[in-house]
Structure 1
Amino acid sequence: MELIDLTRTLDPADRELLPEGLKALASVVAPSVAYSHPAGAGRDEFAAALQCGVHDLPDGEGWGSEMLSEFNSHLGTHVDAPLHYGSTSEGKPSRTITDIALDELFCETVVLDLRGRCEANQPISVDALKAALAENGASVPQGGAVLLRTGQESFTLADPGFFQYPGMSREGTLFLAEQGAKVLGTDAAGWDLSFAVMAQKFRDTGDNSVLWDGHRAGREREVFIVQQLSNLAALPPSGFHVAFFPIKLARASAAPARVVAFV
């Protein structure tokens, strides 16, 4: 069995790659990290903790340590709990990230290749999803996961195109849920169209149904949405399981996750 990591590395250096105008998104890209090296700040911290002098330390070194800040619960590759979409889901109080059982997040998975079937800043159509499913040849696993490969792998955080991606609509989200999917994942920065695109649509039409309709569909059908996946090109179309295991963050609407495929 091969283990394939589908998780984006949380690297504070990536914050500097963001184009001007998108710097405000840094807290959902990577945390700020203060590094303490065993031969540097970690040495002083260790000596202070043990109430001794630096000269007393074995080999003259302390510990390696990191202090993280600006750590958003929707940081990097993360799992959205139903609470993220609203206070209720399927008419019941929305579950938090720690309400979700691990066996709900370890499931059979299919990959839908949407490259050439979707466009940047445009919703992914139900027809495109149906065509990708037909090409895959496998059915959606009941209670399983569907991962969308949209082609965003060709962009880095330094490219404006990273934040101009195809997004899901209410209709598309409900279609996948109705097929039996419980976990919905994407290689894009977000599940819906970008905030800038949704805001412009609202200004143009005055129709508030365009605002975050992909996520809000999770109020009608409970699903767990996973964003900023990577390395989907390494996966077969079907016949494998994925673990979507988030940090156990009490009462949270989401948490960063280590997402690993078992192929």
Structure 2
Amino acid sequence: MCHACVMDRVKQGMLSRRHLFTGAAALGAASVASGLISARPALAQSSGRVVDLTHAYDETFPTFDGVPGITKEWAVKFEESGYQLWKLTIFEHTGTHIDAPLHFSADGASVDELEPQQLMAPLCVLDITAKAAQDPNATVEPEDIEAWVSANGDIPAGACVAMHSGWAAKLGTPEFRGTPDGALAFPGFSKAATDMLAGLNVASIAVDTLSLDPGNSQDFAVHFSWLPGGRFGIECVAGLDQLPAAGATVFIGAPKHTGGTGGPARVMAVV
């Protein structure tokens, strides 16, 4: 989600949560190590097929607040100088991008502080396309996680759990962002689900929509609980329909600007 329309809410909700990170750091280290161990055999058994989970984006790409997330202008033109480059102005939370813990906490880890081991993880894909087709604000619930585990086995510690709602196919239409009257409407995670995933030592979650929370959320409960716990999220993911429910390994090309609350990312999966 982007900055402008929730800034006041974020400022009001931001409290120092340093004590949360003390416990999360020890738990997170174990989760990261376990996730990395789980990813290695999956890679060894993979076909080597790479799926790009990243949308290309420009100033027309939908954003949470409706403000263009990127603008560009020529800084140097080839015909004038023999080489060329753009000057880019980018908001961090646009396109396929990372939400770092610092995004919704006063003193959480910034995007450059994410452990490299967290950026390669087993990928678990939860398919909620059927209920998302009936309800644009559908959410991943604990029973969806339980159904996934029943069908695929335990979710590895350190994993990235992705919500496949079918929303990526709506990109380029007004429905990707919301309803004809301008209301935000898209699927996301429920807090009950992310609380369960936190208990399973999952390191990150991903969505194929504009926000970890559903479009009709008024309290951003997932952002305010998941991110300050030392975990991160990925929004506006593409290509989940090309992946199995289990067995893929995700590579998250997080940006590394100092003190960043997140930023555009190149995300890929190996199957």
TM-score, L = length of structure 2 = 0.73
Structure 1 133/27 Cα, relative in aligned 2: closer, same or farther at 3 Å? farther
- 1:188-215 CA distance string (max 9 Å, x none): 1111022xx234xxxxxxxxxxx00011
SS at match of 2:201: coil
Report the equivalent of 2:99. 80
C-alpha distance after superposition, 1:27-70 (max 9, x if no partner): 34xx1122478xxx3322x2xxxxxxxxxxxxxxx11221212x
Contact 1:114/1:132 (CA < 8 Å) preserved in 2? no
The within-5 A match list for 1:132-147 is: 132-135=148-151, 137-147=152-162
1:66 alignment partner, one of 82, 86, 94:
86
Q: Cα offset for 1:124?
A: 3.0
Q: Indicate which of 207, 228, 234 corresponds to 1:186.
A: 207
- Counterpart among 150, 162, 165 of residue 186 in structure 2: 165
Q: Select which of 51, 59, 72 maps to 1:33.
A: 72
Give 1:177's aligned amino acid: A
User: Does 1:107 find its partner at 2:121?
Assistant: yes
SS at match of 2:139: coil
Corresponding residue SS for 2:230 = coil
Partner of residue 10, structure 1: 57
Does the alignment pair 1:198 with 2:217? yes
Q: CA deviation at 1:125?
A: 2.3
What is the aligned counterpart of 1:149 among 148, 164, 183?
Answer: 164
- Matched ranges for 1:205-216 at <5 A: 211-216=219-224
**Match among 124, 127, 130 for residue 143 of structure 2:** 127
Name the larger-Rg structure: 1
Q: Structure 1 regions of 5+ residues with no counterpart? A: 47-61, 88-92, 200-210
User: Structure 1 residue 43 and structure 2 residue 82: aligned?
Assistant: no
**Matched residue count:** 216
TM-score, length of structure 1 as denominator length: 0.75
Tell me, what secondary structure is at the counterpart of 1:198? coil
Contact residue 52 and residue 267 of structure 2 kept, 8 A? yes
1:153 CA displacement: 2.5
Answer yes or no: is the 8 Å Cα contact 1:77–1:229 preserved in 2. yes
2:259 to 251, 254, 260: 251
Secondary structure at 1:180 match in 2: coil
Q: Please report how far the alpha carbon of residue 114 of structure 1 lies from its aligned counterpart in structure 2 after TM superposition.
A: 1.3
Q: Once superposed, what is the RMSD of the aligned Cα atoms?
A: 2.2
Q: Which is worse superposed, 73-82 or 110-119?
A: 110-119
Q: Which amino acid aligns with 2:53?
A: L
Provide structure 2 residue ranges, at least 5 long, that are not aligned to the other structure: 1-47, 179-184
Distance of 1:251 and 1:193 partners within structure 2: 27
Give the percent of matched residue pairs that are identical in Structure 1 and Structure 2: 22
Q: Amino acid of the residue matched to residue 235 of structure 1?
A: L
1:224-259, CA deviations, whole angstroms, 9 ceiling, x for partnerless residues?
Answer: 100000011111221221111211111011111110
Does the 8 Å contact 1:107/1:143 carry over to 2?
Answer: yes
Check whether the contact 2:124–2:155 (CA below 8 A) recurs between aligned residues: yes
Question: What code does the residue aligned with 1:142 have?
Answer: A
SS in 2 for 1:129: helix
